[in-house]
């Protein structure tokens, strides 16, 4: 999960390549590099760490050249060092690579047996050497690439330049996205439309197995059988403006605060307030024919799937299975006729979720996707796209995408329930009224920010933290623990309240804060009983509930965070706010890198 940009132009390219990398930093930020052709030779600047280090390197030693490729890396094979940073090069070729060459070991052994010296620990460098060998043997780069691509197993997007052939760059894709951008007298390659947004709006998405020879005035795309093919040139619509933090200290904070607005925007396209109905985009299949649901996602999006299970089973009475995408495909799931396969993804590019989607499509399962990036691979491949309108999410830890995904999941659950004849018009109207209230309730939740900031120190000092919830608030407990782990590096676990006495209660002592998510409602008393069991053993409870809940159960808590009183349906959306703010303030108190936490990437495009 790295980012790629390539430019073949007539003006110097390194500034524009660097600008493209800034847009791709969400894919990885442990090292970066640029290669261009200077006086018939490859010249490179590479730097370990964030892009600022590469910028410094370029300031020290500017990089001329009108043909270039660039890369921002999230290390898979080989530590994040300057030596492992891309581009990798020989005298004949420089390459940047996103993905994993799964057979790199035998290829490397084969190359070394032929006397070649590889200088990095990466899987990617073998590609440079294989292509280089073919060119050294007299092949044109086009033929060299055509000969090497079938030898590579795994998922990859690659861009290459050739110092003896300065009039072309070549890109190839298999299992990782790559787009071609069309300019005036110059052309581009990029991991996504967003990377190319300030260079061009005219782009073509390469299909699986495609590769492209990109010259200044022409682009020729080939399919996996090396037959010339045309791919439609479309208007990307990606915004050229770089998103900024506004008045906020971090993107994550800004994105938490955007939630009332983006949830309202998202719900607007799914609710008909006058008719008090929920509506989905037009679809080519009948929801009434759906007999069961499989929801697949990774990370935060998978908790949306778990909450969706509660809602779809409750309202539509359809059985729902939820899988993390990395487990789904390899356990050979039973996919019966009548299944609706739903993928949930902010980026629409997460490799495991995309692979799960393709697995379901191959099994003739009807698919829907709750996706934030409308130009993404998943958005283009699902049968029914259910967009979230969260706007670009920059902070690595997902926040506003989560609440927007929940909003769409609620709309989908209601539609399924109506299609299955399980929901009266009056019940639907009531749900619509509650959903309409969600943005205002999110605003009320945000109003408690200062209190949360004030009590964050009780959590910041802890080594372990437990989160408890029941029903749809159980996945939210998992999300709370994930948020805290991701950005504050404190070990945290989420548990279903009733499960606590089956193990985690053994961890309880007065150094382990217990964050209890307990909105008033049918499950409140049960959760409070579990909380009391922990308090009896010395647990330091932080109770997140509404005024009634705090009045009846908050007296022994070390801290309480008051939420507005909301219908249980929208409680997971509203209670997401304190969970996010708590993680945020703890991370700020600890001084960690909130927007780009160590070892993580926003979009995980490798398995």
**CA-to-CA distance for 288 and 291, rounded, in angstroms?**
8
Where does this chain touch ligand G6P (CB under 6 A) — which range of 261-269, 393-401, 464-472, 543-551?
A: 393-401
Residues with Cβ within 8 Å of 275's Cβ and at least 6 positions away in sequence, in order, are none
Of 259 and 520, nearer to ligand G6P (C-beta) is 259
Active site residues: 2, 602
CB of 2 to ligand G6P, least distance (A): 14
**3-state class of 203 per DSSP?**
strand
CB of 143 to ligand G6P, least distance (A): 37
Of 124 and 605, nearer to ligand G6P (C-beta) is 605
Instruction: Locate all alpha helices (DSSP H) within 61-199, ordered by sequence.
Output: 104-113, 125-136, 141-148
Where does this chain touch ligand G6P (CB under 6 A) — which range of 5-13, 132-140, 391-399, 424-432?
A: 391-399
* Contact status: 576 vs ligand G6P (CB under 6 A): no
Phi, psi of 76 (to 5 degrees): -115, -60
CA neighbours closer than 13 Å in the CB half-sphere of residue 587: 27
Of 369 and 513, nearer to ligand G6P (C-beta) is 369
Return the closest-CA partner of residue 500 out of 515, 483, 482: 515
Residues with Cβ within 8 Å of 129's Cβ and at least 6 positions away in sequence, in order, are 90, 111, 116, 118
Other C-beta atoms closer than 10 Å to the C-beta of 449 total 17
Per the CB < 8 A criterion, the answer to whether 220 and 226 are in contact is: no
Of 76 and 314, nearer to ligand G6P (C-beta) is 76
CB of 394 to ligand G6P, least distance (A): 11
x/- track of binding to ligand G6P for residues 396-415 (CB under 6 A): xxx-----------------
Query: Binding residue for ligand G6P (CB under 6 A) from 200, 353, 415, 488?
Result: 353
Of 188 and 402, nearer to ligand G6P (C-beta) is 402
Where does this chain touch ligand G6P (CB under 6 A) — which range of 181-189, 305-313, 555-563, 597-605?
A: 597-605
Return the closest-CA partner of residue 572 out of 351, 314, 323, 378: 314
Query: Binding-site residue total for ligand G6P (CB under 6 A)?
Result: 16
Per the CB < 8 A criterion, the answer to whether 224 and 207 are in contact is: no
Query: Binding residue for ligand G6P (CB under 6 A) from 345, 488, 535, 545?
Result: 345
Of 129 and 483, nearer to ligand G6P (C-beta) is 483
**CA-to-CA distance for 85 and 66, rounded, in angstroms?**
21
Per the CB < 8 A criterion, the answer to whether 388 and 237 are in contact is: no
Name the residue whose CB lies closest to ligand G6P: 299
CB of 28 to ligand G6P, least distance (A): 11
CB of 301 to ligand G6P, least distance (A): 4
Residues with Cβ within 8 Å of 285's Cβ and at least 6 positions away in sequence, in order, are 366, 383, 384
Query: Binding residue for ligand G6P (CB under 6 A) from 86, 250, 420, 602?
Result: 602
Phi, psi of 45 (to 5 degrees): -130, 130
**CA-to-CA distance for 38 and 158, rounded, in angstroms?**
21
Can the peptide bond before residue 69 be classed as cis, meaning omega within 30 degrees of 0? Answer: no
CB of 506 to ligand G6P, least distance (A): 29
* Contact status: 177 vs ligand G6P (CB under 6 A): no
CB of 396 to ligand G6P, least distance (A): 5
* Contact status: 66 vs ligand G6P (CB under 6 A): no
User: Which class for 443: exposed (0-12), middle (13-18), buried (19 or more C-beta within 10 A)?
Assistant: middle
CB of 589 to ligand G6P, least distance (A): 21
**CA-to-CA distance for 383 and 193, rounded, in angstroms?**
21
Chain centre to alpha carbon of residue 528 = 34
Where does this chain touch ligand G6P (CB under 6 A) — which range of 281-289, 342-350, 459-467, 469-477?
A: 342-350
- Three-state SS for 443-478 is HHHHCCHHHHHHHHHHHHCCCEEEEEECCCHHHHHH
CB of 314 to ligand G6P, least distance (A): 24
Per the CB < 8 A criterion, the answer to whether 232 and 204 are in contact is: yes
Of 1 and 414, nearer to ligand G6P (C-beta) is 1
x/- track of binding to ligand G6P for residues 137-176 (CB under 6 A): ----------------------------------------
Query: Binding residue for ligand G6P (CB under 6 A) from 132, 346, 375, 520?
Result: 346
**CA-to-CA distance for 161 and 250, rounded, in angstroms?**
37
**CA-to-CA distance for 280 and 588, rounded, in angstroms?**
39
* Contact status: 347 vs ligand G6P (CB under 6 A): yes
Of 120 and 603, nearer to ligand G6P (C-beta) is 603
Q: Which two tokens stand for residue 263?
A: 């949830």
* Contact status: 600 vs ligand G6P (CB under 6 A): yes
Of 200 and 603, nearer to ligand G6P (C-beta) is 603
* Contact status: 417 vs ligand G6P (CB under 6 A): no
Chain centre to alpha carbon of residue 189 = 21
* Contact status: 603 vs ligand G6P (CB under 6 A): yes
Where does this chain touch ligand G6P (CB under 6 A) — which range of 156-164, 201-209, 339-347, 588-596?
A: 339-347
CB of 372 to ligand G6P, least distance (A): 7
Phi, psi of 282 (to 5 degrees): -60, 145
Of 199 and 582, nearer to ligand G6P (C-beta) is 582
x/- track of binding to ligand G6P for residues 286-325 (CB under 6 A): ------------xxxx------------------------
Residues at the interface with ligand G6P (CB under 6 A): 298-301, 345-347, 350, 353, 396-398, 600, 602-604
């Amino acid at each position: 999960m790295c980012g790629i940009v390539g430019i073949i132009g007539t003006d110097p390219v390194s500034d524009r390549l660097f600008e493209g990398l800034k847009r791709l930093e969400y894919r990885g930020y442990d090292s970066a590099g640029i290669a261009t052709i200077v006086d018939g030779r490859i010249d490179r600047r590479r730097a370990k760490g964030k892009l600022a280090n590469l910028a410094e390197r370029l300031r020290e030693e500017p990089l001329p050249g009108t043909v270039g490729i660039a890369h921002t890396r999230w290390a898979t094979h080989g530590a994040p060092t300057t030596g492992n940073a891309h581009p990798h090069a020989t005298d004949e070729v420089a390459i940047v690579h996103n993905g994993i060459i799964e057979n790199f070991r035998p290829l490397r052994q084969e190359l070394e047996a032929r006397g070649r010296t590889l200088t990095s620990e990466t899987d990617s460098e073998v590609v440079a050497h294989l292509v280089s060998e073919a060119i050294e043997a007299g092949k044109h780069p086009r033929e060299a690439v055509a000969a090497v691509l079938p030898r590579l197993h795994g998922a990859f997007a690659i861009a290459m330049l050739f110092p003896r052939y300065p009039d072309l760059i070549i890109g190839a894709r298999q299992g990782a996205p790559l787009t071609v951008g069309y300019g005036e007298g110059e052309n581009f390659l990029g991991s996504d439309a967003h990377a190319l947004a300030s260079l061009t709006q005219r782009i073509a998405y390469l299909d699986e197995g495609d590769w492209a020879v990109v010259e200044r005035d022409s682009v020729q795309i080939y399919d996996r059988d090396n037959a010339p093919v045309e791919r439609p040139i479309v208007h990307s619509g990606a915004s050229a403006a770089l998103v900024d933090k506004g008045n906020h200290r971090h993107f994550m904070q800004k994105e938490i605060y955007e939630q009332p607005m983006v949830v309202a925007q998202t719900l607007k396209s799914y609710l008909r307030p006058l008719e008090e109905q929920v509506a989905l985009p037009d679809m080519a299949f009948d929801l009434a024919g759906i007999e069961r649901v499989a929801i697949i996602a990774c990370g935060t999006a998978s908790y949306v799937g778990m909450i969706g299970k509660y809602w779809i089973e409750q309202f539509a009475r359809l059985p729902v299975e939820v899988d993390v995408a990395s487990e789904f495909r390899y356990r050979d799931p039973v996919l019966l006729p009548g299944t609706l396969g739903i993928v949930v993804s902010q980026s629409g590019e997460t490799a495991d979720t995309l692979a799960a989607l393709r697995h379901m499509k191959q099994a003739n399962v009807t698919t829907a996707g709750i996706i934030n990036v409308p130009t993404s691979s998943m958005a283009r491949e699902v049968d029914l796209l259910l967009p979230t309108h969260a706007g670009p999410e920059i902070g690595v830890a997902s926040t506003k995408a989560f609440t927007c995904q929940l909003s769409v999941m609620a709309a989908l659950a209601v539609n399924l329930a109506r299609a299955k004849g399980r929901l009266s018009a009056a019940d639907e109207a009531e749900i619509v009224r509650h959903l309409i209230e969600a943005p205002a309730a999110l605003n009320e939740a945000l109003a408690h920010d200062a209190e949360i900031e004030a009590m964050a120190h009780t959590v910041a000092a802890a080594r372990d933290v437990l989160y408890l919830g029941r029903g749809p608030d159980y996945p939210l407990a998992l999300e709370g623990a994930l948020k805290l782990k991701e950005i504050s590096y404190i070990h945290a676990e989420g548990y279903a309240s009733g499960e606590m006495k089956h193990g985690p209660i053994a961890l309880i002592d007065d150094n382990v804060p217990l964050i209890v998510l307990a909105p008033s409602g049918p499950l409140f008393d049960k959760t409070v009983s579990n909380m009391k069991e922990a308090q009896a053993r010395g647990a330091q409870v932080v109770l997140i509930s509404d005024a009634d809940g705090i009045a009846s159960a908050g007296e022994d808590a070390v801290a309480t965070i008051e939420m507005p009183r909301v219908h249980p349906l929208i409680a997971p959306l509203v209670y997401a706010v304190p969970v996010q703010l708590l993680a945020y303030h703890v991370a700020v108190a600890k001084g960690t890198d909130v927007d780009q936490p160590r070892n993580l990437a926003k979009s995980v495009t490798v398995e």
